[in-house]
Structure 1
Amino acid sequence: MRRRTPLAVAVAVGACLTLAGCSADDGPELTVSGAFMPQPVDDMAAGFLTVENSGATADKLTSVTSDIADDVTIHESRNQRMRQVTSFDIPADGTLALERGGSHIMFMALKQRPKQGDTVAVELHFEKSDPITVEVPVKETAYRPQKH
């Protein structure tokens, strides 16, 4: 009987790990909303959007690319200072908000200056999730979305 007990425990633990670890619902589930770019007034532009993660696993926004500029970076603003960062956390069952006065996307040395009414394609790159392409509408320079 002693020989069967360790085997039974091993099988039970393995089954529990399999059930807990193989669910498709365990990963990040990302959606993007509220994207906009104020019409740029020089050769730089900023982009703003919200990434919602309805999944059970956190992720990170690690970079952004776009045909509009070769140099696209992500920045945070704290204590009236802006600095480039390597990633932004997207918590499990949480939100990453890139908004005016806070964290944002910077497009440096624009190849062309988009006008209000245009859209700019950007690709968001993540640590765990596949890239997401977003068509970002260009709004008036002073645009501020309504908060819900």
Structure 2
Amino acid sequence: MRRFLPSLILLGVALAQPKIEVKDAWVREVPPNSRSSAAYMVIENQGNEPDKLIGAKSDISKVAEIHETVGGKMRRVKYIEIPAGKKVELKPGGYHIMLIDLKKPTKEGQQVELVLQFEKSGQVKVNAPLKKGIGKMEEHHHH
């Protein structure tokens, strides 16, 4: 039994961790003169401990920020809580990753690499296709 105890302790620690899975990621295609876009996805925490999305990076923008749309107004947020055993959807009109100061025009079908930073799970790389958005993207004014 003594030989197995360290393994059991490690297993217990591993089971207590968040387990992040990202699904259905996509980035909104925008007109060539647009300087910003947004990324959307479903983030699922399959673990039994909560985690937080605390940052992001993108290969198509100089800046990536976590935003939320509330009452038609967009605002930056410090993090998005991903509860244990739950899913959080980043979608138009809600939470999203704002991609600011695009490095080049976007074109439908291109792949965008996103690196999501989680408080406990660390970095998670995601490849997201550029797609035409459904509905109008909220106007974003940077101050």
TM-score norm. by structure 1 comes to 0.79
Q: Is 1:51 the equivalent of 2:48?
A: no
What's the counterpart of residue 32 of structure 1? 22
Residue 77 of structure 1, CA deviation = 1.0
- Aligned residues, how many? 128
Larger fraction in strand:
2
Paired amino acid for 1:82: M
Paired amino acid for 2:74: M
Taking the TM superposition and a 5 Å limit, the aligned residue runs for 1:1-148 are 22-41=12-31, 42-142=34-134
In 2, Cα distance between the equivalents of 1:53 and 1:141?
26
Instruction: After superposition, give the CA deviation of every residue in 1:102-142 in whole Å (9 maximum; x if it has no partner).
Output: 11011111001220010100000000002111111001243
TM-score norm. by structure 2 comes to 0.82
The runs of at least 4 consecutive aligned structure 1 residues that moved more than 2 Å come to none
In 1, Cα distance between the equivalents of 2:55 and 2:81?
12
In 1, Cα distance between the equivalents of 2:39 and 2:94?
11
Higher-Rg member (1/2): 1
In 2, Cα distance between the equivalents of 1:133 and 1:79?
31
Residue 38 of structure 1, CA deviation = 1.6
What's the counterpart of residue 141 of structure 2? none
Instruction: After superposition, give the CA deviation of every residue in 1:73-96 in whole Å (9 maximum; x if it has no partner).
Output: 010111221100110000011112
In 2, Cα distance between the equivalents of 1:55 and 1:37?
26
Task: Give the gaps of 5 or more residues in structure 1.
Answer: 1-14, 144-148
Larger fraction in helix:
1
Instruction: After superposition, give the CA deviation of every residue in 1:21-43 in whole Å (9 maximum; x if it has no partner).
Output: 93421110110001011211211
Secondary structure, counterpart of 1:60 in structure 2: strand
Task: Give the gaps of 5 or more residues in structure 2.
Answer: 136-143
In 2, Cα distance between the equivalents of 1:133 and 1:114?
20
In 1, Cα distance between the equivalents of 2:55 and 2:13?
28
Paired amino acid for 1:66: S
Identity %: 33
